[in-house]
Structure 1
Amino acid sequence: MPHDVDLIILLAAGFGIALFFGYIAARLRLPPLIGYLIAGIIISPNTPGLEADMALANQLAELGVMFLMFGVGMHFSLNDLLQVKRIALPGAILQITVATILGLSVSMFWGWSFGSSLVFGLCLSCASTVVLLKALGDRGLLDSVNGKIAVGWLLVEDLVMVLVLVLLPATAVLLGGQQLAGHDSNENIWLTLGLTLLKVAGFIAFMLIIGKRLVPMIMQFVARLGSRELFTLTVVAAAVSIAYGSYAIFGVSMALGAFFAGMVVKESDFSHRAEEETLPLREIFSILFFVSVGMLFDPRILIEQPLHILAVIAIIMIGKTLAAMALVLFFRYPLNTALTVGASLAQIGEFSFILATLGVSLGLLSLEGQNLILAGALFSITLNSFVFSAIEPVQNWIRERSHLARLLERSGDPLAMLPDEVDQDYLRDQVVIVGHGEVGRRITRTLMADGIKVVIAEENREIVEDLREKGNAAVSGRATEPSVLIQAHIQHARLLVISPMDILDIHKIVDTAKLLNPQIQVLICATSKEEAEIIREDEIGDVYYAKEEMAKNMSNHILNQIQIAHHHTPTH
């Protein structure tokens, strides 16, 4: 076989087999990336049969990492993170610490060096954003409070891992590894670390001051030409050239460069278009990344080290999950939130692979360690959907054992009750608003400006704390729980307003409200035309649907304008 078709063999075999196993994984309701990893294992030098070029696969994996990190940067939303910062920031950092210590302790017990054990522990501590977004999306949880906490938590993990990728090469020698090619190993470790941080700070400053203005400006300039392929090329060129430039000029990892390229593109007015146009390319390269990661895996470890693999899976799926759940409950969030966040973190993915590959290249992680991480990822991603399915049964099981539920659920939580300052007179004929999203905020503002009494029931504790600081009556918790509506004094309320949410939850809330206050009037914001029709058929309250209301308002405005014009038209 001529040597110059190695790339074609790799792509043809990789994509073909990845498609087959990805399809099987999807049919089994598992993330398709399991299929891509299996495809890589099949064409790897470690398994008999077809053998693809490993060096080429590594370069394609590097490209895959760049596009994956570019995608993470484009999805990185500071607003999402700020909404849940009080739980996501300390929670993620503590959970990373616990998981790293677990991985470190177990591997040092196996006789590994401290440096290897540290990298191994860090690899086990970070979950996959790709897997999480898919799991939450499939269950319609992305916009829920639990979903936002889980995504915010993973954004913090991603940021910590970006920092680890930057600092690891600088501290490799101190940890017992070796310098990357082109670095002087005789340099003082603190000098190296200082220089690395200085270069990173220089790169970040450059991206925030110049890149933030320059890239959107170029995108706008190209978008005016109206050429679709030139626009796509602009975004891809920005991703790859910033990633390479960060490495060549600032000595920063290409992964970090690509992450910031994504963040800068997100700042542009054309970010949605950029995301849509580059999605196929990003997905193709991320598939190549997972295939090449599979190629690194040696299946013999399953036979040679079964106990080690079980220990790794236990750390990922039990240790991390329990640590995260304990932290969420400590922050006095409900059991359901703790279980959702715990399930979200019961897997490892792309950052673990990137970090493991870097660890191997720095001589800090053995191939055995890398194989254990790959095995842990394969099993944990495969089992993750089952973990999500177990949330409800586990919650019911705990609640049936009331003494356990009382311990775990928020007992004596100050935010679950209205503060004493709220006057009892205030809690008569008030309007109870469930949910303080965009719709809830606008309604609250309008009512309060008119001097109408309002009590807000909201799941996100941080929003409730902010509302109380401003002197508003607010209570924390899921309004599907009768106790939350009781605390909002629904029995004396004049009106109940329900923000857009799941139709089953709306039914539960209305049933409880009408049981406690049969005279209460109910207003419901529907998320879709179909939902609005179902609620109207059920006759549980007055329904408002955004597009319908907009059309009504615009029609009324047009009719008014025509009448005014008609009124002012002089008659001959």
Structure 2
Amino acid sequence: MSLHALLAEAIVFLVATVLVVPLFERLKASPLVGYLLAGILIGPSGFAIVADAKDIEPLAELGIMVLMFSIGLELTLERLKVMRPRILALGALQILLTSSAIGGIALVAGLEFGGSLVVGGSLALSSTAVVLQLLSERHELATRMGRAAMAVLLLQDLAIGPLLVLVPVLGAHEGTMIGALGLAALKAVAVLFAILVVGRLALRPLFHVVSHTRAAELFMATTLLILIGTGLAAAWAGLSMALGAFAAGLMLAETEHRHSVLEAIQPFRGLLMGLFFMSVGMVIDLRLALDHLGLVTVLTLGLMAFKALLLLPLARLGGFAWPGAARLSLILAQGSEFAFVIFSLAEDHGVLRPGLAQPLLVALAVSMAATPLLAMAGGLLGRKFEPYEAPGIDMLIKAAQDLHDHVVVAGMGRVGRGVAEKFTKRGVAYLAVEGRRDRVVGAKAAGLAVFHADVTDLTVLEAAGIERAQALVVALGEAEGAAHLVATLRYLFPGLRILARARTEALGRLLTKAGADEVVVEKQDAGDRLASAVAVSLDA
């Protein structure tokens, strides 16, 4: 391609970006869906402004590499440790059952075994980009539902690596499937282990030297060197470049430079992601989709309904009430952006017949566009079956903005609710935060100032005005969570008075060691005693 032709296509892409992003933000829809639509319109099946989608494939692949790199950066050991076993089980079962069920349906429908594996695994994934953006806009990232959705998406992201390894094997070794899979798995583990070991030994000293130069362009160049270099190393070993980029993110996730790297790639991450989605839109055959409109409609509605209905009982087993389970299952019912990548890879390696993925690509795009409507439906279901709202972090911010010298109550179980009731009677200014929606709804119905969010998240405590609060009452049921919260806030706010409840003497000693000023070992009157202790401290 000539330079003039390349610049002309770059201008088309930039114009589409300038038009799409503001329009879809005004419509409260994901810009990623707008990029898909723009790609369809400017691509060969639309107005053919860009005649061949392959012209921008290298940049689109770079966009996927950046996305995988940023996902790797987010997978810190700390984030994995705080995920509760129930939520981990929920995410693992969702992937296993959904992929098995969809793959089984594809196999019965006549698809070959390899193709069924790819279709089942790909369609089991949900859109990380779309869901996280929607949760952020609705201020629900810190709610219990938001945290559960993030945990499920995190486990789904971990499943992408094996899928990227699986597809080339399915295309090259139909006859000796088990042996080929074993060999590919060993090769992938060996290559990724080598990348991680070399990276761990070299990255810290390298970034230490680079950061001391304080040259932003050098930091950016080093980041790109690692991103592209590990991608090429993976490609030379017969793996995908996206998998290499994911390994590069994992290498940097546990270093002190993680946040700086995320900040460095942020400006062009969204742009390259947009280019990738636009390239996907270009390969969608609009005429074929219109000719098979009935099939596309069935696939779209069937995919969303099937995923939602399968996740609903799993979320219920994960500890959610039915309204909360419905909201979680609906917000994760769409397809994933990575399905586009895996389907394209499967066609290139002959695992899926050319054109077979076209109806699925359209169904994926429509399901992603429908996510805000699914979230709205979940909210309506919640309000129908729960007569009282469970105000979230946005309402918490408004409630706390004029408060000073108030008390923050963490947890609204039996003890926390007893504290809040006493404060209400005595006229003590307080804000209570609870992660379980059913408890929030019940307490709100009783007239208590309670909000639905994860109180162990520091951003939630900041929203509650913890830096202006006079005291914190910790009434959490989980021992580790309570001790970690006390220790963190004691370090960040040395002057904050912290009072906590403990179920046992041993936990009481742990909380005292963590920095609690006063600990009440649980008895029937623990709520009254905590409230009285706070009142005494406020009068002092």
Structure 2 equivalent of residue 304 of structure 1: 291
Name structure 1 gaps, 5 residues minimum: 177-187, 401-455, 459-478, 516-524, 537-545, 554-572
What's the CA shift string for 1:232-276, capped at 9, x where partnerless?
A: 11111111111111221x322211110111121222212111111
What's the CA shift string for 1:275-300, capped at 9, x where partnerless?
A: 11111122221111111111111112
How far the C-alpha of 1:550 sits from its partner, in A, is 4.8
Structure 2 equivalent of residue 335 of structure 1: 322
Tell me which moved more, 9-18 or 253-262: 9-18
Structure 2 equivalent of residue 370 of structure 1: 357
- In the alignment, the residues of structure 1 paired with residue 169 and residue 230 of structure 2 have an alpha-carbon distance, to the nearest angstrom, of 21
Structure 2 equivalent of residue 407 of structure 1: none
Structure 1 equivalent of residue 200 of structure 2: 212
Residue of structure 2 aligned with 1:225, choices 194, 207, 213: 213
What's the CA shift string for 1:381-410, capped at 9, x where partnerless?
A: 21111211222321233457xxxxxxxxxx
- In the alignment, the residues of structure 2 paired with residue 390 and residue 241 of structure 1 have an alpha-carbon distance, to the nearest angstrom, of 45
- Does the C-alpha gap of structure 1 residues 83 and 338 become closer, same or farther in structure 2, counting only changes over 3 Å? farther
- Specify the SS of the correspondent of 1:97: helix
How far the C-alpha of 1:11 sits from its partner, in A, is 1.6
Structure 2 equivalent of residue 24 of structure 1: 23
Residue of structure 1 aligned with 2:245, choices 254, 258, 280: 258
Structure 2 equivalent of residue 164 of structure 1: 163
Structure 2 equivalent of residue 146 of structure 1: 145
- In the alignment, the residues of structure 1 paired with residue 241 and residue 327 of structure 2 have an alpha-carbon distance, to the nearest angstrom, of 33
Alignment pair present for 1:287 and 2:286: no
Structure 2 equivalent of residue 98 of structure 1: 97
Structure 1 equivalent of residue 334 of structure 2: 347
- In the alignment, the residues of structure 2 paired with residue 529 and residue 72 of structure 1 have an alpha-carbon distance, to the nearest angstrom, of 26
8 Å Cα contact 1:23-1:35 kept in structure 2: no
Tell me which moved more, 67-76 or 43-52: 43-52
- Specify the SS of the correspondent of 1:319: helix
Structure 2 equivalent of residue 45 of structure 1: 44
Number of residue equivalences: 444
What's the CA shift string for 1:408-457, capped at 9, x where partnerless?
A: xxxxxxxxxxxxxxxxxxxxxxxxxxxxxxxxxxxxxxxxxxxxxxxx98
8 Å Cα contact 2:167-2:351 kept in structure 1: no
- Does the C-alpha gap of structure 1 residues 507 and 334 become closer, same or farther in structure 2, counting only changes over 3 Å? closer
Structure 2 equivalent of residue 485 of structure 1: 414
Alignment pair present for 1:391 and 2:385: no
Write out aligned runs for 1:415-434 (5 A): none
How far the C-alpha of 1:219 sits from its partner, in A, is 1.1
How far the C-alpha of 1:175 sits from its partner, in A, is 5.1
How far the C-alpha of 1:49 sits from its partner, in A, is 3.7
- Specify the SS of the correspondent of 1:390: helix
- Specify the SS of the correspondent of 1:45: coil
- In the alignment, the residues of structure 1 paired with residue 226 and residue 15 of structure 2 have an alpha-carbon distance, to the nearest angstrom, of 30
Letter in 2 for 1:57: I
Identity %: 25
- In the alignment, the residues of structure 2 paired with residue 359 and residue 123 of structure 1 have an alpha-carbon distance, to the nearest angstrom, of 11
Structure 2 equivalent of residue 118 of structure 1: 117
- Does the C-alpha gap of structure 1 residues 326 and 190 become closer, same or farther in structure 2, counting only changes over 3 Å? closer
- Does the C-alpha gap of structure 1 residues 205 and 108 become closer, same or farther in structure 2, counting only changes over 3 Å? closer
Structure 1 equivalent of residue 62 of structure 2: 63
What's the CA shift string for 1:140-183, capped at 9, x where partnerless?
A: 1112222121111111111112111112212334558xxxxxxx
Alignment pair present for 1:239 and 2:227: yes
- Does the C-alpha gap of structure 1 residues 42 and 152 become closer, same or farther in structure 2, counting only changes over 3 Å? same
- Does the C-alpha gap of structure 1 residues 192 and 5 become closer, same or farther in structure 2, counting only changes over 3 Å? farther
What's the CA shift string for 1:219-241, capped at 9, x where partnerless?
A: 11111111110011111111111
- In the alignment, the residues of structure 2 paired with residue 93 and residue 261 of structure 1 have an alpha-carbon distance, to the nearest angstrom, of 24
Alignment pair present for 1:72 and 2:76: no
- In the alignment, the residues of structure 2 paired with residue 492 and residue 350 of structure 1 have an alpha-carbon distance, to the nearest angstrom, of 47
Letter in 2 for 1:23: P
Tell me which moved more, 164-173 or 137-146: 164-173
How far the C-alpha of 1:336 sits from its partner, in A, is 4.3
- Does the C-alpha gap of structure 1 residues 491 and 223 become closer, same or farther in structure 2, counting only changes over 3 Å? closer
8 Å Cα contact 2:69-2:247 kept in structure 1: yes
- In the alignment, the residues of structure 1 paired with residue 258 and residue 178 of structure 2 have an alpha-carbon distance, to the nearest angstrom, of 40
- In the alignment, the residues of structure 2 paired with residue 514 and residue 31 of structure 1 have an alpha-carbon distance, to the nearest angstrom, of 36
Query: Over aligned residues, Cα RMSD in angstroms?
Result: 3.7
- Does the C-alpha gap of structure 1 residues 338 and 315 become closer, same or farther in structure 2, counting only changes over 3 Å? same
Letter in 2 for 1:58: E
8 Å Cα contact 2:115-2:351 kept in structure 1: yes
TM-score (normalised: structure 1): 0.69
- In the alignment, the residues of structure 1 paired with residue 199 and residue 57 of structure 2 have an alpha-carbon distance, to the nearest angstrom, of 29
Letter in 1 for 2:241: M
- Does the C-alpha gap of structure 1 residues 551 and 341 become closer, same or farther in structure 2, counting only changes over 3 Å? same
- In the alignment, the residues of structure 2 paired with residue 114 and residue 378 of structure 1 have an alpha-carbon distance, to the nearest angstrom, of 25
- Does the C-alpha gap of structure 1 residues 80 and 47 become closer, same or farther in structure 2, counting only changes over 3 Å? same
Tell me which moved more, 153-162 or 486-495: 486-495
- Does the C-alpha gap of structure 1 residues 174 and 195 become closer, same or farther in structure 2, counting only changes over 3 Å? closer
How far the C-alpha of 1:28 sits from its partner, in A, is 0.6
- Does the C-alpha gap of structure 1 residues 551 and 164 become closer, same or farther in structure 2, counting only changes over 3 Å? closer
Write out aligned runs for 1:266-277 (5 A): 266-277=253-264
Letter in 2 for 1:343: L
- In the alignment, the residues of structure 1 paired with residue 201 and residue 138 of structure 2 have an alpha-carbon distance, to the nearest angstrom, of 38
Structure 1 equivalent of residue 499 of structure 2: none
- In the alignment, the residues of structure 1 paired with residue 20 and residue 421 of structure 2 have an alpha-carbon distance, to the nearest angstrom, of 58
- Does the C-alpha gap of structure 1 residues 80 and 147 become closer, same or farther in structure 2, counting only changes over 3 Å? farther
What's the CA shift string for 1:509-545, capped at 9, x where partnerless?
A: 4884879xxxxxxxxx984589579999xxxxxxxxx
Letter in 2 for 1:130: A
How far the C-alpha of 1:308 sits from its partner, in A, is 2.0
Residue of structure 1 aligned with 2:348, choices 335, 346, 361: 361
- Specify the SS of the correspondent of 1:245: helix
8 Å Cα contact 2:323-2:385 kept in structure 1: no
- In the alignment, the residues of structure 1 paired with residue 74 and residue 464 of structure 2 have an alpha-carbon distance, to the nearest angstrom, of 29
- In the alignment, the residues of structure 1 paired with residue 48 and residue 460 of structure 2 have an alpha-carbon distance, to the nearest angstrom, of 56
Structure 2 equivalent of residue 518 of structure 1: none
- In the alignment, the residues of structure 2 paired with residue 499 and residue 200 of structure 1 have an alpha-carbon distance, to the nearest angstrom, of 48
- In the alignment, the residues of structure 2 paired with residue 40 and residue 514 of structure 1 have an alpha-carbon distance, to the nearest angstrom, of 50
8 Å Cα contact 1:120-1:369 kept in structure 2: no
- Does the C-alpha gap of structure 1 residues 508 and 114 become closer, same or farther in structure 2, counting only changes over 3 Å? closer
8 Å Cα contact 1:485-1:513 kept in structure 2: no
How far the C-alpha of 1:207 sits from its partner, in A, is 3.2
8 Å Cα contact 2:98-2:124 kept in structure 1: yes
